[in-house]
Amino acid sequence: MAGNPGNAVHAVTTGGIAGSHPEPFPDDVMLAPTLVDEQNTLRAPLLPIACMRVDDVRFDFDSSFPLPAIAEEMANLKALRELHKFTDPDTAEILFPPFSIFGHADPVGDDEYNKLLSGRRATAVFALITHDVSMWNYLFTHAFGGDNWRKNSISVMRAKLPDFADASDNPVESTRKAMFDAYMTALCPFTLTPDDFLARGKDPKKGGKGDFQGCSEFNPKVLFSQEEEIEFAKPENKAQRDGENAPNRRVMVFLFRPGSRVDPLKWPCPRAKEKTQGCRDRFFFKGDERRKRHLPGERRNYDDTQDTFSCRFYDRLSNNTPCERNIQVALLTLRIQDGDDKIFANLPYTLRILGTGADDSQDEVIEGVTNAEGILQQPIPVSATSGQIALFQPGIKKDDSTKPLWSVTFKIAEPLPANTIAGAQARLNNLGMFASEKVDPDQKDVIGRLPLPDPAKPDGPTDQLKRALQRFQTLFKPHGDQEPAEGNMDDETKAELEKQHGS
């Protein structure tokens, strides 16, 4: 599909991550000679193209009520959906990727209980996206174990919604639904219908089969060592156990190729309100062992071994997703301007991040638009070693033949300490305090580094660095208004430099 952003982490928040999956490798198929009335049939596999993860921090413990901060993930989900839309070249129809939601619990407690709790979280997110107040009202009026919305949902909504600040602790149904409606609007910047989900809301039993489901504790990301499992079983260690188990409690939203759909009667996952047998029917051989094996002295992490999930169906959907792998990311921030300091504002760009995998097929490609100040800001894997940026005219269709307005290749390196000459140079350059328009030929392929100090004066700044320091001191005034800008790397200047740029 043209314009697929490829493998990329697009947004990271304190409560989740949104990203695109890498393009799948072509499948090998067997073809046989055919007669006049025979044909070979190929069927494209059902694979996600993107994902969004909502972490446990967006819910209270043992609760399915979404907390206000989930608005960050909903905004990212809207952007991800827009990023993966597709315009049919024949009909000009815009097609969006359909969703399917999976809830997960941690490996503590009863499988059946966790199946229903994880399903209630998936139901709550589905209702939030579709703005279905009746589904939330059902969750409110039908408490399940510790998941009792009467405990805190009203107080949380009152604090978020000024118009309902005076609502009672137990409002009548009409008021409660009005609060749900306003709260959903505040948290989710878009409203979809069941037809925007993978099974198109066609479950004949109205249970959301194919559109949202709970996976109980069958697909843990982290499994404790034998020693930890014994210690965490002690009542006094419950709080620590619950904290360490947080990565296992999550809600995943998968986005599939535009136009994809499934028959809910053929969908393997049981409904959110159903028991676990449908899940067990899709287990790997010795699937229970995969999720329950605790090794002596060693935690098992899905990132490392990819053998902790019991469900082979879910594993196939998720084993190549950036949302199920704990990818360490850093925020790349670049101000892009020309030689005359004119900023490249509000321009579409493609950012290719290199060095994140064993070969070019694993490079991450991200599309975006610079802001009004010409700044590009994207989370990238900390393993990245270099990148390529290309800027384009607004409103034009980008493909392999489109010539960019401007492009550059850069390297990514660990910054040197801020109290060194080279470290100060790099930070000043990143802040736009360019010492010279000329760059040392030996350093021309490194963005963010000025010419190195004069070898004959290794402990002293160059003239270029002094001029950069003067610009910095004039703009940020580390000595106050009374002190002249002298271009010296004194302690006050170092402290202000670290404050403005970070250490």
Q: Token pair of 345, please?
A: 């504002």
Contact 149, 65 (CB under 8 A): yes
Nearest to 462 by CA among 452, 470, 475, 474: 452
Contact 301, 222 (CB under 8 A): yes
* Domain ranges within the chain, ordered by starting residue: 8-22+43-131+188-318, 329-411, 421-501
pLDDT score of 59:
96
What is the four-CA torsion angle of 491, 495, 500, 503, rounded to 10 degrees?
Answer: 110
Angle (nearest 5°) at CA 262 between 256 and 264: 130
Q: Token pair of 24, please?
A: 């799948």
Residue 181 confidence class, pLDDT cut points 50, 70, 90: very high
Q: How far apart are CA 204 and CA 21, in angstroms?
A: 31
Chain Cα centroid distance, residue 177: 31
Q: How far is CA 161 from CA 60, 150, 178, 282, 440, in A?
A: 19, 17, 11, 43, 57
> Using H for helix, E for strand and C for coil, what is the string for 205-257?
CCCCCCCEEECCCCCCCEECCHHHHHHHCCHHHHHHHHHHCHHHCEEEEEEEC
pLDDT score of 363:
62
Q: How far apart are CA 276 and CA 254, in angstroms?
A: 21
pLDDT score of 327:
65
Residue 328 has pLDDT above 70, yes or no: no
pLDDT score of 398:
66
**Mean pLDDT, rounded, for 108-127:** 97
pLDDT score of 26:
59
Structure confidence by residue, pLDDT tens digits, 263-280: 999 999 999 999 999 999
Structure confidence by residue, pLDDT tens digits, 3-34: 455 567 778 888 999 988 877 655 677 888 88
Q: How far apart are CA 381 and CA 330, in angstroms?
A: 6
pLDDT score of 395:
78
Query: Which CATH topology does 329-411 take?
Result: Immunoglobulin-like (2.60.40)
Q: How far apart are CA 218 and CA 310, in angstroms?
A: 5
pLDDT score of 326:
66
Residue with tokens 């003067």: 470
pLDDT score of 41:
80
Q: How far apart are CA 492 and CA 495, in angstroms?
A: 5
Structure confidence by residue, pLDDT tens digits, 186-226: 999 999 999 999 999 999 999 999 999 999 999 999 999 99
Nearest to 257 by CA among 22, 73, 50, 435: 50
Q: How far apart are CA 428 and CA 443, in angstroms?
A: 16
Q: Token pair of 85, please?
A: 């839309």
3-state DSSP call for residue 416?
coil
Tell me the whole-structure pTM to 2 decimals: 0.73
Same fold? 8-22+43-131+188-318, 329-411: no
pLDDT score of 107:
93
Other C-beta atoms lying within 10 Å of the C-beta of residue 45: 8
Nearest to 218 by CA among 296, 322, 315: 315
Residue 366 confidence class, pLDDT cut points 50, 70, 90: confident
Q: Token pair of 48, please?
A: 């996600």
Q: How far apart are CA 214 and CA 198, in angstroms?
A: 16
pLDDT score of 4:
54
pLDDT score of 145:
94
**Mean pLDDT, rounded, for 450-456:** 45
pLDDT score of 415:
66
Architecture in CATH of 8-22+43-131+188-318: 2-Layer Sandwich (3.30)
Query: Which residue type, as a one-letter code, is found at position 249?
Result: R
Q: How far is CA 2 from CA 44, 257, 354, 370, in A?
A: 17, 12, 21, 22
**Mean pLDDT, rounded, for 459-463:** 56
